[in-house]
Amino acid sequence: MIIIDAHQHYWQPARGDYGWLAQAPESLRRAFLPTDLGAERKAAGVDFSVLVQAAPSEAETHYLFELARQDDTAVGVVGWVDMEADDVGQRIDALIRDGGGLLRGLRPMVQDLADPDWLSRTSLDRAFDHIQDRGLSFDALVGMAHRSALERRLQRHPHLRVVLDHAGKPAIASKGFAPWAAWIDELSQHPVLHCKLSGLLTLLERPLDENAIEPYVAHLFARFGAERLMWGSDWPVLTTHASFAQWLALALKLTDRYAPGSRAQVFAGNAARFYALSIDGTRAAPTQAA
What is the architecture of the domain spanning 4-283? Alpha-Beta Barrel (3.20)
Pairwise CA distance, residues 102 & 64, whole Å: 9
**Alpha-carbon torsion (3, 227, 275, 185), positive or negative:** negative
Which pTM was predicted? 0.95
SS (H, E, C) 215-268: HHHHHHHHHHCCCCEEECCCECHHHHCCCHHHHHHHHHHHHHHHCCCCHHHHHH
Question: Cβ neighbours of residue 255 under 8 Å, at least 6 residues apart?
Answer: 197, 221, 226, 231, 262, 263, 266, 267
Q: What is the pLDDT of residue 286?
A: 55
The model's confidence at residue 206, banded by pLDDT at 50, 70 and 90, is confident
Start-to-end C-alpha separation, the chain: 29
Give me the residue spans of the domains in the chain. Answer: 4-283
Tens digit of each residue's pLDDT (9 = 90 or more) over 92-148: 999 999 999 999 999 999 999 999 999 999 999 999 999 999 999 999 999 999 999
The model's confidence at residue 255, banded by pLDDT at 50, 70 and 90, is very high
Tens digit of each residue's pLDDT (9 = 90 or more) over 27-86: 999 999 999 999 999 999 999 999 999 999 999 999 999 999 999 999 999 999 999 999
- Asked whether residue 283 carries a pLDDT value surpassing 70, the answer given is no
Kindly give the residue spans of alpha helices, DSSP state H, lying in 28-164. Answer: 34-44, 58-70, 88-99, 125-133, 147-156
User: 26 by DSSP, 3-state: which?
Assistant: helix
Pairwise CA distance, residues 228 & 266, whole Å: 8
Least confident of 108-122, 183-197, 274-288: 274-288
Question: Taking the C-alpha atoms of 199, 205, 211 and 217 in order, what is their torsion angle to the nearest 10 degrees?
Answer: -30
Average pLDDT, the chain: 95
